[in-house]
Amino acid sequence: MNIDRRIILEKNLSEGDYHMIISIKLPKEEKDEIIDNVRTYFENERSEIIGDLAAEQLIDFMIKELGPYIYNKAITDARVMLNERINQIEDELYALEKPVQRGRT
């Protein structure tokens, strides 16, 4: 079962602006595991008992609120890594160049 990740550009018709909504749908098995982890956290750290529905709603809210920040950070990290790798490749290509003798007479 694959994780369904969608990025949706939504147009605000009144202002003509676009903003990004990141929709992440986790497989049931993964979501159930996260729900158990959230319930355990609340019980151990806060001495509160919450049900599956409350844990799931909290997870959905956190994904909605944190998703864009985490997504943007991942894009930034990928961009930095890609630029570093491109620089390495450029250095390797320069090292492969052969000297050219010019102006032979």
Burial letters for 63-98: b for 16+ Cβ neighbours within 10 Å, e otherwise? Answer: beeebeeeeeeeeeeeeeeeeeeeeeeeeeeeeeee
Q: For 67-79, what is the mean pLDDT?
A: 93
Instruction: Quick: pLDDT tens for 14-63.
Output: 555 555 566 778 899 999 999 999 999 999 999 999 999 999 999 999 99
Q: Residue 59 corresponds to which tokens in the numbers above?
A: 């997870």
- Predicted confidence at residue 10, as pLDDT, reads 47
pLDDT of residue 73: 96
Taking the CA atoms of the chain, what radius of gyration do you get in angstroms?
24
Instruction: Please tell me the distance from the alpha carbon of residue 2 to that of residue 31, in angstroms, as a whole number.
Output: 13
Alpha-carbon distance of 69 to 51, in angstroms, equals 27
